[in-house]
């Protein structure tokens, strides 16, 4: 990763804590950089946390002490979708989605962790379960996430930054959770010939289809508006082509409107192709 220097003043207490925390593991500045990067990722992937393992700090599911790599490995062998993961691990849907979005964003890191799993037992909480089978006895973790799909919404916020909207100046981002361990992002792409514009939602759906995924669990849509926006008619029709799934529309400030394809486009499949 490209890096640039930054010098900063820390309260003495923070500095001595950092010194103790990094002792024997990393330089002071190395650990400071690591912890800042963790803070950034925790903001981008609500529900993800980091913990010490014998091999260094690793991504975990907040509140459960389960490594993201453990969830990823379980998913790779069982092909469980977010709902099945949630059932299996006995936690909140948000945590499965957090694991999915994090692993989609850092596939190499998580695959490397998974290969290392036997040596990654969490050192801070040795008595806590870190394997799927053990975690059945894990009490329902308490998490401080306000919305069960906040990770998906964060992914849509990120996609929004890539919008090409020089004509309307209205940027929209979408993040689509495919069945299985799949996340696709989309943004609106406008054109000088206005009618050629593609909305963020359709862009995300087309990305998924191009990767061979056509079954969806949820789509998050984000725009910078006072209240959550609603997908246009064309996007609703395209969504309906692929069945019923959740639609979460959110504002940058965090207001969320939750709906479904069927609710936003009723009777979309009634009668058609039903001739005999």
Contacts to ligand THU by CB under 6 A: 165, 168, 170, 172, 188, 190, 197, 199-201, 221, 229, 231-232, 235
SS3 132: coil
The DSSP code sequence of 248-274 is: EEEETT--EEEEEHHHHSTTTTSSTT-
Would you give the DSSP letter of residue 103? H
* Distance in angstroms (rounded) separating the CA atoms of residues 253 and 45: 16
* Distance in angstroms (rounded) separating the CA atoms of residues 177 and 199: 17
SS3 164: strand
The DSSP code sequence of 27-68 is: -HHHHHHHHHHHHHHHHHSTTEEEEEETTEEEEEETTTTEEH
* Distance in angstroms (rounded) separating the CA atoms of residues 90 and 69: 17
In the residue annotation, 158 being an active-site residue is answered as: no
Residues contacting residue 136 through CB under 8 Å, at least 6 positions apart: 90
The answer to whether the beta carbons of residues 243 and 215 sit under 8 Å apart is yes
- Active-site hit among 201, 217, 241, 255: 201
Closest of 20, 252, 60 to residue 141, by C-alpha: 60
Residues labelled catalytic: 201
């Amino acid at each position: 990763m490209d890096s640039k220097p930054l010098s900063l003043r820390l309260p003495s207490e923070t500095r001595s804590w950092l010194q103790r925390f990094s002792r024997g593991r990393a330089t002071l500045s190395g650990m400071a950089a690591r912890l800042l990067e963790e803070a950034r990722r925790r903001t981008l992937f609500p529900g993800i946390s980091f913990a010490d393992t014998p091999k260094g700090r690793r991504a975990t599911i907040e509140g459960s002490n389960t490594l993201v790599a453990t969830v990823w490995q379980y998913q790779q062998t069982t092909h469980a979708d977010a709902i099945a993961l949630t059932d299996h691990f006995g936690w909140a849907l948000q945590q499965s989605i957090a694991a999915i979005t994090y692993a989609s964003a850092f596939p190499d890191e998580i695959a490397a962790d998974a290969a290392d799993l036997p040596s990654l037992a969490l050192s801070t909480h040795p008595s806590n379960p870190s394997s799927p089978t053990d975690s059945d006895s894990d009490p329902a973790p308490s998490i401080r996430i306000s919305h069960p799909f906040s990770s998906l919404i964060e992914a849509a916020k990120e996609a929004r930054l890539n919008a090409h909207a020089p004509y309307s100046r209205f940027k929209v981002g979408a993040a689509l959770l495919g069945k299985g361990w799949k996340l696709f992002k989309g943004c609106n792409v406008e054109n000088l010939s206005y009618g050629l514009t593609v909305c963020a939602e359709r862009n995300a759906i087309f990305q998924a289809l191009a990767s061979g995924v056509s079954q969806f669990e949820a789509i998050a849509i984000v725009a910078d508006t006072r209240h959550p926006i609603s997908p246009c008619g064309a996007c609703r029709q395209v969504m309906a082509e692929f069945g019923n799934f959740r639609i979460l529309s959110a504002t940058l400030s965090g207001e969320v409107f939750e709906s479904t394809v069927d609710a936003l486009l009723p009777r979309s499949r009634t009668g058609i192709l039903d001739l005999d």
